[in-house]
Structure 1
Amino acid sequence: MLPAVVAVAVAVAVAVAVPALRHRLVRSALRRAGGRYRRRLEALGSDVRLSQERRLRRLLGTGTGTAGGGRGAAARVAGRGRSHGCPSQLVPLPAVSEEFQERHPLGQPCRDEAPGNAVLPLRLWALLPGCWDTDPRLQGALLYLDALGATFPRALARRGTALLHWTPGCPRAPAGWPLPTLYCTPAAAGTLPSRAAALRVQLLFALRQRALHVLEAGLAAELHDALVALHTEWPQLAQELALGRLSPQPGLPEGVRDQLQALLTPDAARAAELRAECARGFEGILLRLWPQLEVVVVRTAHGAERLYCDSLRHADCQGLPFYCPFYQAAGALLGVNLWPAEPAPRFLLCPDWAFCEFLPCLASKEPHTVLLDELWEGREYGLVVTAQPGEYRCRTGEVLKVTGFHKQCPMVEPVRRESQTLSVRGENIPEEQFCQSLCRTLRTWPGARLIDYVCVESSLLGDSSGPCAPHYEVFMELQGLRDLSEGQRYKLDQCLQEDFPIYKSFRFKGSIGPLCLHLVRPATFTQLREALGSPRPMPRVLREGHLLQLIQGSVIS
C-alpha cells in the first residue's frame, strides 16, 4: 500500500510541477531572447541612418501594386550606387529617401488598427539567434518581458498577471503574449460583445488571484471603468466569489457564461477579504486587495488617457508605479519604453520597426520632412510613417516631442492628436492645452474634481445650435458639485481667453460665441466608451452625431 501511495503522491507532484517548470523554462528562454534583441537595438542605435536605410529598402523590396514600389524600384535605387565603383555599396539614405518621397507624396490615409493584432502562436524559429528580421510585435513583446522582469523580478510569475482589456470579435495580443502562462484571465472574457460585461468578468477573475503581481490594461480608461465597477458592485462580486458562480447579466451570452463558469470554484475566504477591504473605502484599494502587486501596466496611457492615469494614481492605485511599454500609431508598433520604474514614459523609436519621417511643427506652409537622425531635442514634430509595403508615408495625425536621445535613437513623448483640435474660426486650440485651461478653471471651484469631459463644435449641433455664433459646448462629469453658477460657467470661457489670444480676439469681435458648459450624470462617459464600439483612446472632440445624442441625453445641469 505504501509504494502505491508514494507513486500517487509523486504523480500528483509531477502533474502540479510540470506546468510551473514549463513556465520557468519558457520564461528563461524568452528573457534571453529579449536580452539579445535589446543588445541588437543598442547596436542599431549607433547608426540610425543605416538602420532606417535598411528598413526602407526592405519595405520597397516587398511592396507590390504601387508606382515606384516593388523590387524593381528598390533595384533602380540601389543601382545608382554602382557608379562609384562599389557594386555592393548601399546608396546613402538621402538618395533613397529623396526618390521615395518624389514617388510617394504625403497624405496617404492611415489605418487606426493594426492588421493581424490577434494572439498568434509563438514559433520557435523566431527566437533563433540568426533570425533577425522578425515581426516588430515579437521584438516589442520580448523587450517588454526583459525590461519588466529586470525591474520587477516577481512580475513574470506564472498566473501572476491579470488582464483588463475589451477585444470584441477576437482575442487580441496582451503585452506579454509570447508567455501566455503569465495570465490568470481567460481569453474568452475579453471577447464578449459588451464592454461593461467583459471588464466586469475580467475583474472577477483578477479578484480570485490574491497573489497578483501585475495588473495590465489595454487602455487607462479600461482600468478606470473596471474599478468603477468594483466601487459600485463589490457586494455582488463578493457573492459570486463566495459561491463560485457567475450571475446572469446583460452582454454575457449563456454559452460563454457556462464556459467561464467551469473555471470558477467557491472561495469564501477571498470573498470575505473583498467585503472587508471595500467596506473601508477605496483609497489605495489595489494594494489592499493584492498585497503582492508590483506594477500597473497600461498599453495606452498618454494623451487623452493621461486624465484617467492621474485620477487612479491619487486614489485606487496609490503607491503603485504605472508602466506604459509601447508607442503605437497608424496601426504599427513604433517605439518601446525600456525604463518601467520611471514615472514619465520615454518611448525609444526603434529604427528597424518602421521608416519614420517628421514634419517640424513650426515649418512653412509647404514643409519638408526630416529623418530620424535629424531631430532636435525639445522640438515638436508631426509623425509620418511607412510601416507596411504598399502603404507609404502615412500622416498619423500625432504630434511628438523629442525629450532626449539614447545613443542616436530619439526618445519621444506623444503630445497631441491633430484631429482633436478645437476650431470653429481657425483659432486651433489643441486638446492638451484646452485640458490645461479646463484644469486651471476647476481649481477655482472648491470641492470639484474632474471625472471626464468632452467637447463639441457647434457645427455638429445643426439646427439645435440656434442662431448664435459658432461656439464650443463642453460636457463634463464632476465629483463634488451637482450644479454650477453662471459665474462658474463663464470662468472656463474666461480662462480660454486668457490662454489663447486668438480665441479672445474672436470673442471680442463676436465671431465666436460664448462657450456653453453642461454637467452630465455619473457613468455617462462609461456608456460613451461602450458606444465607441472598439477599444480606442477617448476622443476629446466629438465628431459623430450619435455620440453627441447620447451625451446630450445625460445632461443634468
Structure 2
Amino acid sequence: SPPPQGSLLYLDALGTAFPRALARRGTALLHWSPGSARGPAGWPLPSLYCTPAAAAVLPSRAAALRVQLLFALRQRALRVLEAGLAAELHDVLVALRAEWPRLAQELELGRLSPQPGLPEGVREQLQALLSPAAARAAELRAECARGFEGIALRLWPQLEVVVVRAAHGAERLYCDSLRQADCQGLPFYCPFYQAAGALLGVNLWPKAPVPRFLLCPDWAFCEFLPCLASKEPRTVLLDELWEGREYGLVVTAQPGEYRCRTGEVLKVTSFHKQCPVVEPVRRESQMLSVRGESIPEEQFCQSLCRTLRMWPGARLIDYVCVESSLLGDSSGPCAPHYEVFVELQGLRDLSEGQRYKLDQCLQEDFPIYKSFRFKGSIGPLRLHLVRPRTFNQLREALGCPTAMPRVLREERLLQLVQGSVVS
C-alpha cells in the first residue's frame, strides 16, 4: 500500500481541486481487494467511504463489486466514485445495466439477496447495515429506464470526480469508454503511479487531462534505462534524467531486494522542485512479437480501433491478443501469427472481409509487419468474436486486481477465452 506521505499528498490534492470531495461518507469504493480491506488511498478511511470494508474482501470479484454497487446506490449524495482499476468501475456499471431491476428491488426492501461468491455469514453481516429505501429505488428505476448515457451523474447528481488508481496502458480503453457513456461529464483523476508492487509517484494535478506523476525519491530506489541509446545503455538515476526523453524503469522496492526491470517505459515531461514528472508511455511486456517485429500495445489498440470504425455500428468493449506459440498444435501447420479475441457491441458475427481488415490495417500501420507478411514469415492474423461478459470472467480468473494483460501468456487464460468464441 502507499506510504503515508503518498496518501496524504493524494488527499490534499483531491481536496484542493474538489473541495467537497472529502465529505463524510461521500466516497463509494469500488475495488476488489481479497485479503485486504485497504482502498487505493492507502488505508480504510472509514469516515470517507460509504461502502463497507467487508465487501471488498469477498472471495468473488463479481460479488464484491455488486455488493459495493448496492451500497453506493443507497447514497444519493456521493461526491466521489473511487475504483482501484478503471476496469472495476466499468464492470460495476455493466452490472448496473444488466441488474438494475433486481438492485432496485433490493434497495426498496433493504435486503441483500444471496448470490454466488457471497458467504452467508458475510451476507447477514452486510444485511444488518441495510434499511428499506423505497424513494431511492424509485429514482433508480426512473433513471435506468431513461437509458445509461450519463447515468453516473443522474444517479449521483453531486458527483465531482472519478478516482481510479490506473488510467494508462490497458486501463485507458475503459476510461475512454466510461467518459463517452456512463460517466459523461465527469473528470477522471489517477492519483498514483505504481510498478512492481511499489508506489513510485503521485499525481498532484487532479484536473490535468493527461495523468502526470511526480516521482518521489525516497519511496523506492529507481533506475532508468535510456530508450533508443546508440550503444549498450547504462542505468541513470533521478538526477540524471532529461526532459522529453523516454526511459525504461528499473526498481528496487525494498532494501535487500533484487533489481526488477518492470517493462514500463516513462517519458519525462517536466520537473517539479527538481524532481522529475513523468507520463507512462507503454508496457514492453505487452508487445506483440512473433518474429521480432515488436508491435506496442498502444499502437495495436489504435489499429484495432481504426479497423472498427470501418464496421458500421460496432463498438469495442474489450480485447486480448495471443501469439501463436502459446496455441501449440491447435494453431495448425502455419506460419507464426497473432490471434485476437474481441468483445463487440453492435455486431453478432464477423465476415471474412471484416476479419481481414484488421490484418490489412496492421500492415498499413507497421511496415515491418507488412514486410514479414509479404515474405510469408508471419501468417495472417486470426480474429475471433467472443460472447458478452467474457472479459469479466477473465478478470475474475486473473485472481487479483491487476491491469488487464493485452497479450495472454498463460494457457489457462487462453482456454477460458477460446471457450467463449462465438464467431
**AA of the residue aligned to 2:296:** P
Residue 487, structure 1, aligned to residue 353, structure 2: yes
Alignment CA distance shift 1:495-1:489 (3 Å): same
In structure 2, what is the equivalent of residue 181 of structure 1?
Answer: 47
Alignment counterpart, residue 472 of structure 1, candidates 332, 338, 344: 338
Structure showing the higher helix proportion among its residues: 1
**AA of the residue aligned to 2:312:** P
Deviation track 1:390-423 (CA, whole Å, cap 9, x = no partner) reads 0143211111111222232211111111211111
Alignment counterpart, residue 451 of structure 1, candidates 301, 311, 317: 317
CA distance, structure 2, for counterparts of residue 332 and residue 358 of structure 1: 16
Alignment CA distance shift 1:547-1:178 (3 Å): closer
Residue 172, structure 1, aligned to residue 21, structure 2: no
CA distance, structure 2, for counterparts of residue 439 and residue 259 of structure 1: 45
2:64 match: secondary structure: helix
Alignment counterpart, residue 7 of structure 2, candidates 141, 158, 177: 141
Deviation at 1:354, TM superposition (A): 2.0
CA distance, structure 2, for counterparts of residue 518 and residue 385 of structure 1: 37
**AA of the residue aligned to 1:208:** R
CA distance, structure 2, for counterparts of residue 392 and residue 254 of structure 1: 43
Deviation at 1:364, TM superposition (A): 4.5
Give 1:6-45 correspondences, 5 Å limit: none
CA distance, structure 2, for counterparts of residue 471 and residue 552 of structure 1: 16
Q: What TM-score comes out, normalization by structure 2 length?
A: 0.98
In structure 1, what is the equivalent of residue 90 of structure 2?
Answer: 224
Alignment counterpart, residue 57 of structure 2, candidates 167, 191, 199: 191
In structure 1, what is the equivalent of residue 150 of structure 2?
Answer: 284
Give 1:194-273 correspondences, 5 Å limit: 194-273=60-139
CA distance, structure 2, for counterparts of residue 439 and residue 401 of structure 1: 24
Computing the radius of gyration over CA atoms, which structure comes out larger, 1 or 2? 1
Residue 440, structure 1, aligned to residue 306, structure 2: yes
CA distance, structure 1, for counterparts of residue 134 and residue 384 of structure 2: 45
Deviation at 1:284, TM superposition (A): 0.4
- Aligned-residue Cα RMSD (Å) equals 1.2
Residue 348, structure 1, aligned to residue 223, structure 2: no
Residue 388, structure 1, aligned to residue 261, structure 2: no
Q: Determine if contact 1:145/1:176 at 8 Å carries over to the other structure.
A: no
CA distance, structure 1, for counterparts of residue 17 and residue 377 of structure 2: 55
**AA of the residue aligned to 2:106:** E
Give 1:27-426 correspondences, 5 Å limit: 117=1, 137-175=3-41, 177=43, 179-364=45-230, 366-426=232-292
**AA of the residue aligned to 2:195:** A
CA distance, structure 1, for counterparts of residue 376 and residue 161 of structure 2: 51
**AA of the residue aligned to 1:381:** Y
CA distance, structure 1, for counterparts of residue 411 and residue 36 of structure 2: 28
CA distance, structure 1, for counterparts of residue 232 and residue 257 of structure 2: 22
CA distance, structure 2, for counterparts of residue 354 and residue 525 of structure 1: 33
CA distance, structure 1, for counterparts of residue 64 and residue 248 of structure 2: 35
Deviation track 1:367-390 (CA, whole Å, cap 9, x = no partner) reads 101221222222211001122110
CA distance, structure 2, for counterparts of residue 416 and residue 145 of structure 1: 27
Alignment CA distance shift 1:336-1:254 (3 Å): same
CA distance, structure 2, for counterparts of residue 218 and residue 365 of structure 1: 39
Deviation at 1:495, TM superposition (A): 1.2
Structure 2: which 5+ residue stretches go unaligned? none
**AA of the residue aligned to 2:94:** V
Give 1:504-519 correspondences, 5 Å limit: 504-519=370-385
Structure 1: which 5+ residue stretches go unaligned? 1-116, 118-135
Deviation at 1:169, TM superposition (A): 2.4
1:182 match: secondary structure: coil
Deviation at 1:209, TM superposition (A): 0.6
Residue 496, structure 1, aligned to residue 329, structure 2: no
Q: Determine if contact 2:31/2:39 at 8 Å carries over to the other structure.
A: no
Percent identity between the two aligned chains: 89
CA distance, structure 2, for counterparts of residue 526 and residue 450 of structure 1: 14
Q: Number of matched residues?
A: 423
Deviation at 1:178, TM superposition (A): 6.9
Q: Determine if contact 1:245/1:264 at 8 Å carries over to the other structure.
A: yes
CA distance, structure 2, for counterparts of residue 194 and residue 392 of structure 1: 33
CA distance, structure 2, for counterparts of residue 171 and residue 264 of structure 1: 20
Deviation at 1:482, TM superposition (A): 1.4
Q: Determine if contact 1:141/1:178 at 8 Å carries over to the other structure.
A: no
Deviation at 1:500, TM superposition (A): 1.3
Mean Cα deviation higher: 426-435 or 269-278? 426-435
Q: Determine if contact 1:165/1:219 at 8 Å carries over to the other structure.
A: yes
In structure 1, what is the equivalent of residue 394 of structure 2?
Answer: 528
Deviation at 1:365, TM superposition (A): 5.8
Deviation track 1:2-31 (CA, whole Å, cap 9, x = no partner) reads xxxxxxxxxxxxxxxxxxxxxxxxxxxxxx
Q: What TM-score comes out, normalization by structure 1 length?
A: 0.75
1:147 match: secondary structure: helix
Deviation track 1:480-504 (CA, whole Å, cap 9, x = no partner) reads 1112222221111111111111111
Looking at both structures, which has the greater relative contact order when contacts are Cα pairs under 8 Å and sequence separation is at least 6?
A: 1
Q: Determine if contact 2:3/2:42 at 8 Å carries over to the other structure.
A: no
2:255 match: secondary structure: coil
Deviation at 1:429, TM superposition (A): 0.8
CA distance, structure 2, for counterparts of residue 371 and residue 281 of structure 1: 51
Alignment counterpart, residue 544 of structure 1, candidates 410, 413, 417: 410
Alignment counterpart, residue 429 of structure 1, candidates 285, 289, 295: 295
Deviation at 1:531, TM superposition (A): 0.6
Q: Determine if contact 2:325/2:336 at 8 Å carries over to the other structure.
A: yes
